[in-house]
Amino acid sequence: MVTPEALLQVRNLKKYYPIRGGVFSRKVGAVKAVDGVSFDLKKGETLGIVGESGCGKSTTGRSILRLEEPTEGSVQFEGTELTSLSGEAMRRMRRELQMVFQDPFASLNPRKTAGEAIAEPLEVHGLGNRRERKEKVKELLSVVGLDSYHAARYPHQFSGGQRQRIGIARALAVNPKLIVADEPVSALDVSIQSQVLNLMEDLQEKFDLTYLFIAHDLSVVRHISDRVGVMYLGRMVELADRNTLYERPIHPYTQALLSAVPVPDPEAKRERIILTGDVPSPSNPPKGCAFHTRCPHVMDICREMRPDFRDHGDGHFAACHLMDA
Ligand code: SF4
């Protein structure tokens, strides 16, 4: 899976949260939120990660940036192992790696003006003097489609779409190379969603950005991604370039997810695959293939042996025994 031009290499990333119980609060188990995720992200690329709520996609993004400390695994950014950096070195590295959050309102301090919020990362990293920071804020506001007078306004004075533009300007302030966007448009109206997605695409081109774009909405991910990875119960189950994944999914879970997405062509019929049963608990994932309790194609081997996540040709990765049958 190693690509020579990879900006980010994630290998066997795990994030387990201990479950404690008893009078001594001993560790009695673990919630396996992320359970061995591997992928590469090329420079200038957008990799979308999709999956149902609780599949571990957001925790994957947060663990890469060490907003959550990974339990195990390797995260290399331009050849530097992020998981072993000291606190101070990681803080410096964060200039290169920024995050755009789902809820623009929650991620902005209500007592800070938009200008102060955008200038904050510049102050944290000691970039520029007061006058230069003010100029930079003006420039960033214009870059994200806002006016310089917006700098003096507070978050509650903006619409949801405008607040997300501020969140993006804030992320861009320190000239990052990689942006992890965690459900950046899911709190917005559909009409505003496409404006923000188009803005993100324009900015990617302009600033040579690389995106890890996390969302539950398959149409949104299709709009913006070059490649798409599908997660289920803490693991990546399929990864391919956008068109291959949406037109020729090979994993039964991806097939089921996509069968629920409306297709624009009324002639094109797509049979809806209804999955039965609930998503199992990540504290007690099923043995073998974690999807076997809901898979319409389950075989005996699926209950016993976990399928390898491997390349089935042209970078189309999937973890399913059907491909070996
Ligand atoms: Fe279904 Fe088996 Fe493939 Fe898992 S490995 S997705 S249970 S066919």
Residues 6+ positions from 287 with CB-CB distance below 8 Å: 303, 304, 306
User: pLDDT value at position 119?
Assistant: 96
Q: What is the pLDDT along the chain (325 residues), one digit of tens a residue?
A: 545 579 999 999 999 999 998 888 888 899 999 999 999 999 999 999 999 988 999 999 999 999 999 999 999 999 999 999 999 999 999 999 999 998 777 778 889 999 999 999 999 999 999 999 999 999 999 999 999 999 999 999 999 999 999 999 999 999 999 999 999 999 899 989 999 999 999 999 999 999 999 999 999 999 999 999 999 999 999 999 999 999 999 999 999 999 988 776 666 666 788 888 888 999 999 999 999 999 999 999 999 999 999 999 999 999 999 998 7
The structural domains of the chain, with segments of one domain joined by +, span 6-22+29-88+178-186+207-324, 97-175
Pairwise CA distance, residues 63 & 11, whole Å: 12
User: In this structure, which residue's CA is closest to atom 7 in ligand 1?
Assistant: 292
Pocket, ligand 1, Cβ cutoff 6 A: 251-252, 289, 291-292, 295, 297-299, 302, 307, 320-322
CATH annotation of 6-22+29-88+178-186+207-324: 3.40.50.300
Atom of ligand 1 nearest to the CA of 237: 6
* Residue 262, pLDDT score: 73
Mutate to test the pocket of ligand 1, among 320, 323, 324 (most ligand atoms within 8 A of CB): 320
| Half-sphere CA count of 186, side-chain side, radius 13 A | 17
pTM of the model: 0.93
- Residue 21's pLDDT is 87
Sign of the CA dihedral 140, 146, 151, 157? negative
If one residue of 232, 275, 292 were mutated to test the ligand 1 pocket, choosing by the most ligand atoms within 8 A of its CB, it would be 292
Q: Starting at the edge strand that comes first in sequence, how are the strands of the sheet with 178-182 ordered?
A: 97-100, 178-182, 210-214, 46-50, 227-232, 235-241, 317-318, 310-311
Nearest CA owner, ligand 1 atom 5: 320
State the distance from the centre of ligand 1 to the C-alpha of 9, rounded, in angstroms: 27
Nearest to 101 by CA among 219, 187, 218, 21: 187
Ligand 1 pocket test: pick from 253, 254, 302 the residue with the most ligand atoms within 8 Å of its Cβ.
Answer: 302
Mark residue 54 as left, alpha or beta (left: phi above 0; alpha: psi -120 to 50; beta: remaining): left
